[in-house]
A and B are shown apart, each in its own frame.
Chain A
Amino acid sequence: MLLHYRLLSGLLLCSILTLTACKPPSSPSDSINKASTSPEIVFAISQAPLNLDPRYASDATSERLNRLLYQSLVDFDHHTKPQPNLATWQQLSPLSYRFTLSEQCRLFYYPASAEHKAKARKLTAYDVKATYDSITALSDSPHSAEFSNLKNIVVVNERTVLFYLKAPDRHFPAKLVLGILPAELVKVKHDFAHFPVGSGPLVLLEAKNKWGLQRLDDGQRISLIEVKDPTVRMLKLVHAEVDLIQGDLPPESVRYLQAKPGLTVKTAVGVNFSYLGLNTQDPQLKKLKVRQALAHAIDRQEIINKVMLQHSRLGGAILPPEHYAQRQTLPAYAYDPALAKRLLQQAGVSLPLKLVYKTSTDAQRLRLATIMQAQMRAAGIDLEIRSLDWATFFAEIKQGNFQLYGLTWVGVKTPEIYAQAFGSDNIPPKGFNRGRYQDAELDKLLSTDDWQAVTQRIHQQLPYIPLWYEGQFAAMQKGIENYSPKADGNWDDLATISAYAH
């Protein structure tokens, strides 16, 4: 084990990279007073950010926006491997890490307020300590539990900080993705949720009816407006009331936008994994043959071809094939209703097998559920669909009050997810093992780093039915440049987007 950690430390040392993630303004006053000559870019989003304090943010919108307002110590590369962002790191022992802040790009920007003028100052190791100390002290943060293993943080000097853990954690650096906050504001319990102060490339100037942002290096203004209804979002883009939309649109609307001459539509593969959750404590669903029958009863490729976005692809495991821990393409369960029926009969199920499928009220989810219901009928499965409002639906899942449900894993970065989602010890409310799956052999594999074996075991035992990774898209006016959709749906390109008057 010790050898393993030494090897890991050595690898980490060798992989220390130079920072390229951000470009700070030449001086604070430059950035504060700069006014862009290019037109404001209006971005219509489906859901308003709920909390711009990175210690509390858990919704996708807030997290995407916070990546632009704040900077974190660590970020991820294209293979989802942790990489230095604000700091490089070195594992000193299984229980300690040293993080060294780069000399560049460490300016906190304080927007002007009634009390003071806009100003900026350097981000230091004291800010890192204050941020992570504060999160471990919070009881109402969704992220506190992730840092419960943190013993203490010691500032060595302005650029160096040591993290001590209570127990070894191979994935600890991957957890340091929270935006760093200014220490003095943390101390006075500043309202970061509404008045964020960070060191990211964008700064929030207004958050009333819209979220008015300004890019620090060139003064480019970007406005985020909430437009919940997908059709309206599309019409606003067509009417040129907005410049950019991304995601949350049915595929037929995307095709409509693709045919519009004044618009550009860009698509990309996605990494958010959709699956059919199963209650493995259900008398029928605890039988492997029944789960296999379900996997063979859904024609996933046909669904992808007909009612999903371009670039959607079959899913085999929570982590996509390009993830560093995956490195294998799992064989898909072919659509074969006759085989599914035989498997059900072999399992001693009297047909039709009646199952209840719970889903949210989202129109696209309901549409997919209806298609699966029709496909399963051919395999002798009678699926009843129940759609519930999000909070009720999710509460039912956590309480185990379901047979089947449909959900998507969003923003998963580390292979630890397999232990959290399928480990016998992680049944809610302790973890994410919503299907109440218990498998001693899998538990044994999960305690190793053999992710290939773990994913193969999961794929074979089917504690869930893998569906797909939905493609991503962004649609924009022709004058918008330097913006592309990202696999996890982030908005990082707002740091580089440009608009030309036309």
Chain B
Amino acid sequence: MKGKNALAVDIGGTFTDVVLQLNQRLHATKVLTTRDDPSEAVIAGIQQLFKESGVSAEHISLVLHGTTLATNAIIERRGAKTALLTTAGHRDILEMAFENRFEQYDVNIERPTPLVPRKLRIPIAERVTANGDILVPLDESSVQQSIDLLLEEEVESVAIGFLHAYRNGDHEARVADLVRDRMNSVPLSLSSDVCPEIREYERLSTTCANAYVLPLMSKYLLSLQEKLNALDFRCPYLMMTSGGGLTSLETAAKYPIRLVESGPAGGAILACVIARELALDQVLSFDMGGTTAKLCLLDQGKTILSRAFEVDRTYRFKKGSGLPVRIPVIEMVEIGAGGGSIAQVDKLGRIQIGPESAGSTPGPACYGSGGTEPTVTDADCVLGRLDPNNFAGGQLQLDTPAATQAISTKVGNPLELSLKDTALGISEIVDENMTAAAQSHATEWGKSVHNRTLIAFGGAAPLHAARMLEKMNLARVIIPEGAGVGSAIGFIFAPISYEVVRSRHLLLSEFDEKLVNEIIQDMREEANAVVASALQFSEEVTETATAFMRYVGQGHEVTVSFGADSINRQLLQQNFENTYTELYGKLIPGAEIEVMSWTLNVSTKTQGIESVEDSGHDSASVNESLKIHELVDIHGTHKATVVGRETLSPDTAVEGPALITEKHTTTVVPLGYQVRKLIPSNHLSLERMST
């Protein structure tokens, strides 16, 4: 990163975070997201930082960007008018989905509305079989008729998805040519290109989601580029993807579905960088914002990568209530637990938290903007974890009586609990939900949370991190520099990378080294081309190859890593058996093994932090230190010292009970814990004191 001045922008649902890394210093700001034209907030944030730091666009060597726009377009169904050309006889794949109810005990559920309505799911006479043979040749006259319909309906984006196209994409390619001949400008998304993987519902869902957000995203990316150019930016722009890698604007505009979870991915990358910097082998990253908490496991500074993600979980964030997309994603668990999550009492007298959130309007009751529902932030306020006079750098005066009122009326009184017990109960339940999610996620991946170091960022995480440590019996949490804008900082360190997939079924007993090497070479060429297009100068790249393998007869594959240039049957079998044992304990004696799909990821190296000196330039004026504040926790009521983060000196530890305040968050240090500033990184390390 030496000498590189990078600007990172993370557009979230509520806030747009802009971070400027300038000669090893960080400048950061949060501005409200402008929904109609998101680039406005971006430009406003940039100009604010330019003013503050005194630099201008020509000093910037790289712009990095992540956004939830694609996700929001899907959630709010604001995407393009999209058509799907699909195998005749199968036009309802997208809507029939898994034919299940994601909630057993509710007869009134609604299944997600498909992104393409039935009348625009247009049957094409053609059929490819499971082994790639042509059973029914493509009927080009039926394609021409469908193009008439596309024109008549003024369709803005076209997805093409045929059965078994992951195996043989010729028909899709031919139809694309025919469409292009008559509709020059309409963007096309082919399932054999966007997601060449077996299982038609997931493949088509991904392809249609890509088509649905494509016009909007490419328009936005273009408009942003123009605005940046107008500000005299002369540097390259790269986009953050959900897989934790950066990619070029051109690739992002072609596969915008790969951008959906970019903000959280940035946070995970930041955690990776810190884990390597501090040589932490086992880490749990904990990102808690206004609406959700994201928890992610890192081993040896690496996240788990997977290909399963769900957008728009409409029913209490419940698995299965959203639209599946198969894209490279950093595996993490996301639950409806944030500062704005609302607490209520169910009919069993149990406190339930979220997933409904008070959002930014009206926001938690203590914001004093008319919110009457008790939220996690209200509980934090009542428990003394927030300094009412110095919230958000003093921009917002917290209304403690309003928080008290909301908590007592909606939760305390029905349960006949005191105010403090109620607030503690709310905090405990949300902490427990996050703990359970982390543990369950670890189990799912054959891992455990034991002995991990927590890395906490996002506005609400440092308030809850210490209690999470206690619950998981961990020893230490790191609160990064700039914790409140962690995702955007993560972008700066992300590698340039691209992952491709191929579904090619292969029995291990019939392993064909030549065939597999051909598949790998094919993927390598595609991935290298994309990575090269985003590189400013040639850089060393690494390859990570995986196979999705299972015992013949099983329905779910395990992800097995292998070296792309040294693949052989024994190695694959050995790696499969190691992974299987790690996940499920026992191998199945004598069962045959098969590979369903292959992926190859080509990536530059993740940047490391090289002596970021004196980066404590948080622009907020923070309070004078040594104020005393009443802090309530599960062990009792304490007198806590309030200390501004920038006043901490590296050689003195502050013992709890204490609050460490900064512009975008507060770190709670309970009795029995101490916090110190690390040099040279300026991260905080909060640790349990030996007794």
Q: Are the chains A and B members of one assembly?
A: no
Residues on A facing B (Cβ under 8 Å): none
Residues of chain B touching chain A, judged by Cβ–Cβ distance below 8 Å, are none
